[in-house]
Structure 1
Amino acid sequence: MYLPQLEAPFLTDGGLETDFLYNHGYALPHFSAITLIDGGHRENALLDYYRGFLDLAETHGVGFLLESPTWRASPDWAAPLGLSLEALAERNHRAIRLLDELRIEQDRAIPIVLSGCLGPRGDGYRADAPTSAREAAAYHRWQIDIFAEEQVDLVSGITITTVAEAVGIAEAARAAGLPCVISFTVETDGRLPEGTALGEAIAAVDAQTRAGPAYYMVNCAHPDHFARTLDPGAPWIGRLRGLRCNASRRSHAELEAATELDAGDPDELAASHARLVERFADLHVLGGCCGTDLRHVRAIAEACYP
């Protein structure tokens, strides 16, 4: 299991989908970055996007978690994207291969970990599916098996809204022989969309999977939404190893209704991260989510890894 981010600082990328959609004018049907995997200029733009973050990590002498653009590329999204299941599978394969080639195209003096990213089966802002851990494991195994075939270093479940789905992803990854990371999203009250407190969710997944995930993260929330719920003395706090925060303080409902990007304040966001990293030394993986781009992650790197 090659997971140096457990011991050393790492960066990852920003809000890929919002960056391409709002900052660069790319259409992303159903908010799916897998549509950038087209063998043409969209694909080249995607690789240039990652190169910017890799350069940043190298400048700061920290590792980089190379997260695949496959968050919304699981079976239920094939038909809405106008793809056959076979075509969607091929795009998943190609996405991983492209990133694998990217991490060896230059002799970079930093560790680079390749992660197969998957999102929730349903909406990333609502606890709408699946209803059981067994159902989640069966559903997500399709994409996880593709990641296993491509020999990724780990699986990352991003923007997970329920304990049941987190358990299912962890069990499916274990069955495929891959370590996994679970990144929960929380509402403005610091609770998962299903209502479970963050610490309770981490403890529940660990209890049901025999501490299956390698570690946990929080994403798609501003630090103000959850910082007050982080207790340095809590038994689960050492399991929280990373953050991919939103630039905006808006709620999920407000973000979903928005027609313009809320990019927040990169320096203010970075200062929030610096305070958290000072309090919680195990927060090793830092990146961004909705509304963030290279500017935000650069500010975070300068504040936390000068």
Structure 2
Amino acid sequence: MPSASDLPQMTGLPFVTDGGIETTLIFEMGFDLPLFAAYPLLESDAGRDAFRQYYGHYLQIAQCNGLGFVLESPTWRCSHGWGAKLGHDAERIRAFNHAAIVLMEELRAGQSGGTPMVISGNIGPAGDGYRPEEMLTAEAARAYHTAQIEAFAETAADMVTAVTITHTGEAAGVVLAAKAAGLPCAIAFTTETDGRLPSGETLAEAIETVDALTGGGPVYYMINCAHPDHFSGALPNGLTAGRIRGIRANASRLSHAELDEAEELDGGDPHELAQDYVRLTGLLPNLHIFGGCCGTDYRHVSCIAKAISGELSAA
């Protein structure tokens, strides 16, 4: 099984990842995604080709800018609870998670050159990523997420990453399940416009609580699905700030409630978002994993990659 020390992004080498896969598939590629679930597209040739096209843009960005790349599988909704709502039983969900990593392997194997690539099994929350119906205990979250994480442990996944996490109990449960399966785990919290998690916890409180509950279990933390304006003034300081290594922000300044109700995509300004990322590198000493979330696509990540590469060259 891989360990944290095996992950090339732990060396400080800058990495990019993808943008908002679901919003891209819906608004730009014309797919219908019930319950915002992308993973069912793995069943069809057209769906798999769409994924190859989608990830291909980002792989090219990484290579052109001399950056590493984190291949996040399209499995944010591929857990048993969400799968049941889509008519998929536990065995089909396990097969979908396996198939997603096989596709990530194919994409990695098809790239030439020395760009380091990490395959991450992507995990989403058990409830709504904007309005959690309940705050799970660590043990309840561990029980919920174990099956998906064990499925990833049976594949070539190098790690798992839980994104759009709204409260510390669920984060801790994911980490404990990943530790039991022998996989490194990253946790990405989302914030409201005040920089706090939907649970009301500050980022500092959330990181310190999860570290305490799991013995410092996450290999690192990230922030996702919020605009930098929402959280840049609420970042932790000192050692806690150093635990944050990645950002997958929205380009839109809309709140979660506004995004939920939006009928058109708000893509914001890719160049402005890139400059926001450069400023964030001055606030977070270990920040070196950069991607996007809702409403962002390869154009945003391309701007971010160029800005970060230029910043590193000037340093």
**Does the pair score TM above 0.5?**
yes
Provide Cα deviations, 1:138-182, integer angstroms capped at 9, x if missing partner. 110000000000031111011000100000000000000011000
Q: Verify the 8 A CA contact 1:29 1:35 in the aligned structure 2.
A: no
Give the superposition deviation at 1:84: 2.5
Give the superposition deviation at 1:234: 2.8
Q: Following the alignment from structure 2 to structure 1, what is the Cα–Cα distance between the partners of residues 113 and 90?
A: 36
Q: Work out which of the residue numbers 182, 185, 207 in structure 2 matches 1:180.
A: 185
Q: Following the alignment from structure 2 to structure 1, what is the Cα–Cα distance between the partners of residues 125 and 283?
A: 30
- What is aligned with 2:100? 95
Give the superposition deviation at 1:280: 2.6
- What is aligned with 2:313? none
Q: Which segment drifts farther, 182-191 or 1-10?
A: 1-10
Cα 1:200–1:130 change in 2 (3 A) is closer
- What is aligned with 2:258? 254
Letter in 1 for 2:208: A
Give the superposition deviation at 1:304: 1.1
Q: Following the alignment from structure 1 to structure 2, what is the Cα–Cα distance between the partners of residues 227 and 130?
A: 25
Letter in 1 for 2:171: A
Q: Verify the 8 A CA contact 2:161 2:185 in the aligned structure 1.
A: yes
Q: Following the alignment from structure 1 to structure 2, what is the Cα–Cα distance between the partners of residues 201 and 79?
A: 30
Show structure 1 runs of 5+ residues with no match.
none
- What is aligned with 1:78? 83
- What is aligned with 2:223? 218
Provide Cα deviations, 1:4-28, integer angstroms capped at 9, x if missing partner. 1122100000000001101111111
Secondary structure of 2:226's aligned partner: coil
Q: Verify the 8 A CA contact 2:68 2:115 in the aligned structure 1.
A: yes
- What is aligned with 2:60? 55
- What is aligned with 2:161? 156
Determine if the alignment matches structure 1 residue 125 to structure 2 residue 130.
yes
Determine if the alignment matches structure 1 residue 302 to structure 2 residue 306.
yes
Q: Following the alignment from structure 1 to structure 2, what is the Cα–Cα distance between the partners of residues 126 and 165?
A: 14
Q: Following the alignment from structure 2 to structure 1, what is the Cα–Cα distance between the partners of residues 142 and 156?
A: 19
Determine if the alignment matches structure 1 residue 228 to structure 2 residue 237.
no
Q: Following the alignment from structure 1 to structure 2, what is the Cα–Cα distance between the partners of residues 59 and 220?
A: 26
Letter in 2 for 1:274: V
- What is aligned with 2:35? 30
- What is aligned with 2:176? 171
Determine if the alignment matches structure 1 residue 241 to structure 2 residue 240.
no
Q: Which segment drifts farther, 148-157 or 121-130?
A: 121-130
Secondary structure of 2:239's aligned partner: coil
- What is aligned with 2:202? 197
Q: Following the alignment from structure 2 to structure 1, what is the Cα–Cα distance between the partners of residues 201 and 230?
A: 14
Q: Verify the 8 A CA contact 1:160 1:183 in the aligned structure 2.
A: yes
- What is aligned with 1:146? 151
Q: Following the alignment from structure 1 to structure 2, what is the Cα–Cα distance between the partners of residues 129 and 13?
A: 29
Q: What TM-score comes out, normalization by structure 1 length?
A: 0.97
The within-5 A match list for 1:95-114 is: 95-114=100-119
The structure 1 segments of at least 4 consecutive aligned residues displaced by more than 3 Å after TM superposition are none
Letter in 1 for 2:183: L
Determine if the alignment matches structure 1 residue 284 to structure 2 residue 288.
yes
- What is aligned with 1:19? 24
Q: Verify the 8 A CA contact 1:93 1:150 in the aligned structure 2.
A: yes
Identity of aligned residues (%): 52
Show structure 2 runs of 5+ residues with no match.
311-315
Q: Verify the 8 A CA contact 1:121 1:129 in the aligned structure 2.
A: no
Give the superposition deviation at 1:130: 5.0
Q: Verify the 8 A CA contact 1:122 1:130 in the aligned structure 2.
A: no
Determine if the alignment matches structure 1 residue 66 to structure 2 residue 71.
yes
Q: Verify the 8 A CA contact 1:274 1:303 in the aligned structure 2.
A: yes
Letter in 2 for 1:34: Y
Equivalenced residues, count: 305
Secondary structure of 1:124's aligned partner: coil
Q: Verify the 8 A CA contact 2:196 2:234 in the aligned structure 1.
A: no
Secondary structure of 1:64's aligned partner: strand
Letter in 2 for 1:77: W
Q: What TM-score comes out, normalization by structure 2 length?
A: 0.94
Q: Following the alignment from structure 1 to structure 2, what is the Cα–Cα distance between the partners of residues 109 and 131?
A: 42
RMSD of aligned Cα (Å): 1.1
Q: Following the alignment from structure 1 to structure 2, what is the Cα–Cα distance between the partners of residues 137 and 80?
A: 20
